[in-house]
Structures are given as structure tokens and as C-alpha cells.
Structure 1
């Protein structure tokens, strides 16, 4: 018999990457507002991401555990994917499983231990942990339902290739609605490495299969956006414990500080945008991890210049190794700061507040799911340049929903500056047209979904009821 009680203790375990951690912390805020008691596992150098939560919600407490030793991953002290050396993602993800025993010891010594675990999709080992602790594990997916359907299908069905030498061989997913398909080079690089015979990637197969076997699934999406793919996931998993609770966004007063951002730069950006009429600025950002090659930077800059539109470009600061390998360097004529028609910012910016500014006409994006969902919530059409991982599926969804225009695709693609200029200029002209109208419609649907009585609000309330149960049968 299920027992429900207010204030049940829940353990939250994020994956230490910006795109994963931020939406899970937004979910944590929503759970705290619904009277749950929460412990968040965090390593010392990521503790600052919790500052706003801990100040405003005394029911949330951190469990600070030392990051597992990883001598094979220089430089020492890296605790976030954003700061990893190239090629270190696999080892970084694997070493996190060394937190297993410290968590068990903490749980066993706690006077009132958690009754459930909510953990990131990359932390499949936490399902074994939850089984040992005899509590349910809920997977949190920072990706959307379409992209997750593709990933689960890959690792569960292990599709075979006809020609292992053909990177353009098309892999079809006909079990999934609309039968999505991708050439081999667009398939998850982790899966491709596994298929290529690297035994060290076996851990990812085990991890995703643990996800599939977990008690429940929480997705940062909303029913009106991905209904057919959410229904598919319920069918695929064989149960209906799937909750679409998005879009997970911070309160307006916390948007600037989301992701640890601070300082006066947010005010400078807002003042710059305030100068312009509605729908006249293109926002350009490729997320917290993508670093473009110098050639890509040059052609993108040239195309933006030729477009004659105003633009705000945020880019990741290159490491010394990036610079040596010809990545991430802004062309000399495009200095950081304010130019005649541009504002160029190196580093993290308050994306949610930027997208919600009336001056923004379009968003040139790599199609990370957070960026896609934030753009939808703000009612901003997209210019898409998917690079890898789930971004190709996300870009396909943008196409399917008629919310954007495909500009480029692939991490090695160098854009044609003339074509880029044409598409960017057209995006400003069309911002009040078809795609703009469609974006506004879905923006309203997203707002309605998280309002009282909306689909995501109901899903959150239902999730809290399940999380509060001490038994799963």
C-alpha cells in the first residue's frame, strides 16, 4: 500500500554539466515549492550553482562529497564537463560511479534517509544504488522526448549497419512516430564508439539500460509540444510513470543568476537591447561546451556582417589548447564588446532573459535542448546548426513544428557567408510572419502548461505524490 505524506525526503543527483545540472536544479526548486525535503549531492567546485536554491529554500540541503580521484584526467580539480580536456568525457562519466559507496554510507547513517532518488540520465549506476537502498529511482532527462526515444531505441535494439565503412548509411527508427532517420555520422558518438568495438564504452550501454529499467522518468518537456513521443516512451517502457514537467525555467528575478552567472554584464546586455525596436536583433549562441573552429568563427562573423542585421553573439572562451589547435578565436576585426551593430560577449550570458527581450527576432542555436525549450518558451523562432549528440533530433523537431530554419549541420561544417547572411536577414524580416506566429502559439502553450491546472503543473503534482510514497507497489 502506498503511503503519501508531505515533506518526504528526496535525494537529487545531478550530472555535473551545465546543460544537465541547470534544469535539474530548476526541477528541484519546483519540488521544494511542493513541500518536499531535498538533499542534493554536489562536489565542492559545483556547490556555487546551488547558492540561490539554498538561500530561498531551507528545505534543500547539500550533500557535499569530494570528487572522485581521476589521475587520468588532467588538469587536476576539474569537476564540470565544461572544463574537461578534449576526449575526457567517457572517463569523467565513469569516475562518477565511485560516489556509490560514499552515498551508501551517508544513507545508512542518516536518521531519516531519502525515500526516492531522482538522478540524471547519464548516471545509470544510481538505479543499482537505489535497488540496494530499497528505494525507487527516477531518471531525469534534460533532453526532450523525441531525442530520448532515439537514444533508448539505440541502446535497447542495437541497430546493425549494412556497410560499416559508409558514414552516410541511414539508420531508421520506424518504431518511433514519424519514423525518424539519421545518417550514421549523426548517430550518438558514444554509441558509434561502442559499435566500433571500444570495450570501455560498454559502461554506457549498461547505464542506459539501467535508465530503461528504472522506476520512473521525468522529462523537461511538455505534453502539447511532444505528445506523440511521450506516448511512445510510455509504450516503450511498458508503464505510464512518465512525467513531462517542462519547461523548467527559473523565476524572473533569478534568471540573471541562473547557472552561476553574476556581475554587471547582464545590465549592460539589457541596456544594449533596450535601444532597439521589437524583433530587430539576432541572438547567436552555441551553448556552454561548443567551441567553433577559427574558420567557422571567421565565416560566421562574415555572414553576420554581410546580413546587415544587429546581433548579440555569446561564445565560449577558448582554452590555451583550443587556441593552439585553431579553435575559438574571434576574428581580429570583431572585438569583444559593442560595435556598430553588434554586441559580442565571451563567456556565459543570461540566456533566458535575453530570449525574453522584445528586441530578439531569432536565435541562431546549436539546438541543445535547453536552448530549444527556452526559445520556444520565449516565442522566438530559431536558425538551427546542430553539432552532435541529441541536437540533430532536436533540430528535426524544430523543423517538424515549423519553428525554425536549418542553417548548417555538423561540427565540421563551415557556413557559406553569403547564404548565412541571406537566411539571417530573412529571419528578421519574417519574425512577425509564419514562424513567428507559430513560435508565439507554442510559447503560449508552454506558459499554459506550467500554470495552475496546466499539463506540466498537473504532472509535477502527480510526480510529488509518487515521490512521497514509501512503497512502489
Structure 2
């Protein structure tokens, strides 16, 4: 294979899944000279099963998609506090994988001509440069979120007046309360080796050869142009929304996530019995777990609203984390009181099929980027309740710039009272909402981008540029 691309996701489902969706898109370009290797740890290997099973039916396909399984770091003897956990995980991955990856490169008969790696893995920029191959950042966040990230780490921003942080150079000159800035940055301390590793990684992202976004031009054109200006080149590609195979019309469903208390078939059968646009879907993503106070107000609001709903509940022992360290449980009598109009899913929900079902009209979300894109592509009204990371940036995009959303809560600072939440839930299902009109427009723009539009063109251009770089190196 001439164009061999190594993909290296950060090993959590929310980062692995969109990169696998990118791999799926690449392999369906039908280029016989393109091969993809995905680096994965043993505990996440099951996420590749659909690709491996489809490849096994064809010898040519099996050559085009291969896993590279490297071990997971050993759990630390003493658990790291939450404020240091990401930095410790990144360091552990680098220390363990760097020598293994080096040996794999050196021994491979046809080593990769490009490395696409997650933005948490900025250390791979130096690794790729030392081997003379371009490193491409994969951003599972949008261009707005990464623009804020770049400005923070490059300039080491701190609050100005009234504990607000201003971004004067960004489009629309956004401002955020200090508490809405990602925690990993707020915890940054000059001279702390692990925190310095995060900053070095962010600078490595800025200096990398290219960036691929899970976004599309019609969604974030101003911020994509800003990123191009910041990095000083045009090797910035928006190829999203990256959706699972069953949602984009391609053959072969892609398994996602983990175990669930309710099968996808049961969920869709339940939705089939509901009128069009009558259901609110509530999910806080693969990591966030509401605190008990948040869960109590949410459950009471759902009951008081009288609306039909699906509530996806993550469980703390599945890797979630609550902002205040306590884990919210659904009240014992909640399901009994909601019988007939509410469905509770414990574990993973088949989110994309749910959002695309005709019965679902509104999505109450933590505003993680995967959920944001899935909601936008489905044309649902978005009720925003960001919990952390870049989710406050995404909520601002949805509400203030795109006009497809309504604010509900903000982490643990602004928890809606049950009565107010009930009012908003009922209002958000109205068919004549201006946000619903805008949501349908954004859904059309998303599908147009991936069906022959800007995202499809960017994907092809990305492969073309990688191939040109490879050929230039050969003839140098």
C-alpha cells in the first residue's frame, strides 16, 4: 500500500469512536493504495470488531485495515487526584508507547507515511518529526473549542476583570467566566512537570503539519479560518460530522460504547409507539455523571413536565465522574411514576438511532462535541447543560451563534429548579419554535457537507495532500 496512515486515538470511547468513524470514511474512498492502521489498547479492541469482521471477508480489505494493539499503562499505585489525572494518563501513555511505537515503525515493511493522533497526544508531533512523517492532529472537539484551547495554552491566559476571560482575537470576541474554562487548564501550574507536559502537547498541536476536525464548513467556517490563520497554513480539514455507518447510509453497522440495560430494538420499538416530535432525549455523555442534587432536580422536572422522555443514566463504576465527587442515582420510585411515558436506559444508549427517530424532538445534552454533532445532524432542538471540558464553549455555539438551543443549566453552578426545568422541557417540544427551524436548517447543512459537499471534498483533499507529501519525500 502506498498511502499508509497510522491513527492513534486517546484511549477513551469518546475519542476512539470518532476516529474510527474517520477510518471508515477513508476506507470507503475506494482507493486501492490506501491502508489504515489503528493503535488501540486491549480493553478497547472490541470497538474495532465491526471493522475486523468486515475485513476478514475480503483479503484486500484485511490488508487495508489493521489494528496495532499496544498495552495499557498499569494503574498507578496511588490514584491521582482528578485535577492531575489527565496529565498523568498522557505521561503514562507516552512513557509506555513511545519505545514500542518506535520499534514497530523500524520493523514495519511499509511504515506509515502519516500519523493522525488525538489532540491529547501532542507529544506524537516530535515522534513523527523525528521519523520524517507528517503528524496530523485529530480534534474530537470543534474548531471553536480548539481555538479557545490554542489561545489559552499559547498565551497562558488568566482572568481579567470580574473573573472573565476574553478572547479578543477570536471571531465574535467571546468571553467566558473563569469557571467555564476547562479544568485541565485552570489547574495548570508553571514548573509542574506533568502540567508542563500538557502545555508542550498543546504547542505540539499548533506546530503539527495539519489538523483534521470532526466538524463542517457550514457549522464553523469563521473558526476554521481562524485556525488556518493561527497555524499559518491551509492544511486544516473539516470532514464531519463523522457518524456511524448505519447513520450515514453506508453498509455495515458500527458497534459503539458498551453494555446497556435495554437493547436498541426495545428502545426503537418504544419510540415507534410515540407521536412525532413528542419525546425529549436526556443524556450526559460517556463520562459525566450528574450529582445527586442535579439528578433530583432533573428527575422531578421530567415528572412534573408531563412530557415523554428517554433518560440515559451513566453509572459511576463505568468510568463516569460527577463534578462534586458524589454520584446521582435516579429516585427509587422514579420509573414507576413515569411508567407509560418515560424510559430509563442504564449504561450505553443507541444515541444516533434515538436522535434520528421521528418521535424525538428535543435533546437535553451536556454538549460534548460528539453529542453536539449527532444532535445537529438529527435536527433536534438542543437544551444545553454543560458539565466541563470545552462543553461551555459548545453550548455558547449552539445557543448564541447557531440559534438551535436553549440554556437549561451550567454544571453545578446553575442547577435548574424542577418547576423551571419542567416548563422548558414542555416548551422545547413546540413545533413552532424558532430554534426548531434553525435546527432543521443545520441538519440539512450537515448532510449536504458529507454527501458530496465540503466535508467529502476535504476528506479527499486530506488524502491527496498526504500522498503528495509522501511522493515529495520519496523524490527528495
Assess same fold via TM > 0.5.
yes
Shift of the 302–102 alpha-carbon distance from structure 1 to 2, 3 Å rule, reads same
Q: Is the 8 A contact 1:318 1:329 kept in 2?
A: no
Counterpart-to-counterpart distance in 2, 1:202 and 1:325? 26
1:225 paired with 2:222, answer: no
What corresponds to 1:286 in structure 2? 284
Counterpart-to-counterpart distance in 2, 1:336 and 1:73? 42
Counterpart-to-counterpart distance in 1, 2:393 and 2:160? 22
Q: How far off is 1:159 after superposition?
A: 1.9
1:193 paired with 2:187, answer: yes
State the TM-score, normalizing by the size of structure 1.
0.91
What corresponds to 1:157 in structure 2? 155
1:457 paired with 2:451, answer: no
- 1:428 is paired with a residue whose SS is coil
2:11 to 16, 24, 38: 16
What corresponds to 2:361 in structure 1? 361
Matches within 5 A, 1:58-69: 58=62, 59-69=64-74
List gaps (5 residues or longer) in structure 2.
56-61
Q: How far off is 1:413 after superposition?
A: 3.5
Shift of the 365–322 alpha-carbon distance from structure 1 to 2, 3 Å rule, reads closer
Q: Is the 8 A contact 1:73 1:91 kept in 2?
A: no
State the TM-score, normalizing by the size of structure 2.
0.90
What corresponds to 1:3 in structure 2? none
1:377 paired with 2:382, answer: no
Counterpart-to-counterpart distance in 2, 1:197 and 1:306? 51
Q: Is the 8 A contact 1:304 1:421 kept in 2?
A: yes
Shift of the 303–263 alpha-carbon distance from structure 1 to 2, 3 Å rule, reads closer
Q: How far off is 1:257 after superposition?
A: 2.4
Q: Is the 8 A contact 1:336 1:346 kept in 2?
A: no
- 1:339 is paired with a residue whose SS is coil
Matches within 5 A, 1:53-452: 53-57=51-55, 58=62, 59-72=64-77, 88-98=85-95, 99-162=97-160, 169-195=163-189, 198-252=192-246, 257-260=255-258, 265-319=263-317, 326-335=326-335, 339-399=339-399, 400-429=401-430, 431-452=431-452
Counterpart-to-counterpart distance in 1, 2:440 and 2:201? 38
Q: Is the 8 A contact 1:336 1:345 kept in 2?
A: no
- 2:102 is paired with a residue whose SS is helix
Shift of the 170–370 alpha-carbon distance from structure 1 to 2, 3 Å rule, reads same
Q: Mean alpha-carbon deviation: is it higher for 45-54 or for 324-333?
A: 324-333
Counterpart-to-counterpart distance in 1, 2:168 and 2:353? 39
Shift of the 325–27 alpha-carbon distance from structure 1 to 2, 3 Å rule, reads closer
List gaps (5 residues or longer) in structure 1.
1-5, 76-83
Q: How far off is 1:56 after superposition?
A: 2.2
Q: 1:341-375 CA distances to partner (integer Å, 9 max, x unpaired)? A: 10011110111110000000100000001111100
> Considering only aligned residues, what root-mean-square deviation do their CA atoms show, in Å?
2.4
